[in-house]
Amino acid sequence: MPGLDEIIRDTAARLPWNQDEITSLLNRIGPPEWRDLAWAAYTSARIGTLPDEEIFEIGLKAREHVAFSGIRGLLTDAAEKRPDQFLEILNRRGGTSIREEFFDILMRYHPERAAELFKTIPKGSPGSNYDRRYILQARARGLPNTENLALTLQDLGPRGIYSWDYATTLVGHVYERATPEERAKVLDFIAAQAPLARNRMLTGAMSRDENPLEPQEFARIVSVYTTPLLQEEALRTWMESQELDPKDQSWIEALPNQRLREHAKLLLKDGVLGTE
């Protein structure tokens, strides 16, 4: 029905505040997208007129609030206008993955403050280890450049760049989302690290959530590995993930050295290649 969304928003925004029968009514709305729309309007209408924490508490009553429909408007407004004060509320509560969502939104408005605000999360508090891990990923995704990657890795601690889980994951988030120019800078940054850290970070650059790694891009990455053996292992992994025409071997010439080119031919002979 045309205009139904607007009717839902307008009606929900006018409902009496903080009454059990109203929150129960909102949670009985179906389908889910209408329920989310109503909850968002119900809480967002009070932003700026009621304390953030009060709106937050009511918004958490939304059914299946893991989708954050009851508080998303509040999170967005707070991330833009008063990130310090709102993060203090989240830190005081502890044990909530909502901090990760908050940092995801924060990166749209104040990415330059992410490292500073990250340090306010109390170490050892309930849920802090979980949140800190996923907030670092949100920071990496939100600003995919070399400077932000370096700052994020720094917040892992003095040996963070050697972490198989963390460093690999953070590099993967940044590299996949970075521009071609920024990817070259990321590889320069990785190449400047100690061998162990370098090789682990390259695993992150090799990983892909969506778009496959093109041959030219793979050639640039594999050239940064520190040993021929690691280059050969990376080559096999990459070839197994590709959907290339076995008859078209032009990509082999892009590989950075003759040893690797010969190894690619051997792997092809052994049938190590995904097919279309």
At residue 169's C-alpha, the angle toward residues 194 and 144, to 5°, is 90
d(CA 149, CA 139): 9
What six digits make up the tokens of 58? Answer: 């009511």
Q: What are phi and psi of 50, to 5 degrees?
A: -125, 155
pLDDT tens digits, residue range 102-133?
999 999 999 999 999 999 999 887 778 888 88
* 46 half-sphere exposure, CB direction, 13 A CA radius: 23
Q: How far is Cα 73 from Cα 76, in angstroms, rounded to an integer? A: 5
Nearest residue to 263 via CA among 225, 211, 208, 209: 225
CA-CA distance, 218 to 205, in Å (whole number)? 9
Lowest mean pLDDT among 34-43, 164-173, 178-187, 265-274: 265-274
Question: Can you give the pTM of this predicted structure?
Answer: 0.85
Question: What tokens does 2 get?
Answer: 């045309």
| Gap between the Cα atoms of 252 and 239, Å rounded | 11
Give the CA distances from residue 183 to residues 54, 157, 255, in Å, rounded to whole numbers and listed in that order. Answer: 44, 24, 18
Q: How far apart are CA 227 and CA 132, in angstroms?
A: 33
**What pLDDT is recorded for position 128?**
83
Predicted confidence (pLDDT) at residue 239 exceeds the cutoff of 60: yes
Alpha-carbon distance of 146 to 178, in angstroms, equals: 9
* pLDDT at 218 > cutoff 50: yes
Q: What is the pLDDT of residues 198-216, one digit of tens each?
A: 999 999 999 876 777 899 9
Q: Show me where the domains of the chain are located.
A: 1-71, 221-276
pLDDT in tens, 46-93: 999 999 999 999 999 998 655 688 999 999 999 999 999 999 999 998
**Confidence band (pLDDT; 50, 70, 90) for 1?**
low
Residues 42, 33 contacting (CB under 8 angstroms): no
Answer whether residue 2 shows pLDDT above 70: no
Please, which pLDDT band fits residue 159 given cuts at 50, 70 and 90?
confident
What integer pLDDT is reported at residue 157 of this predicted model?
A: 82
Residue of higher predicted confidence among 245 and 142: 142
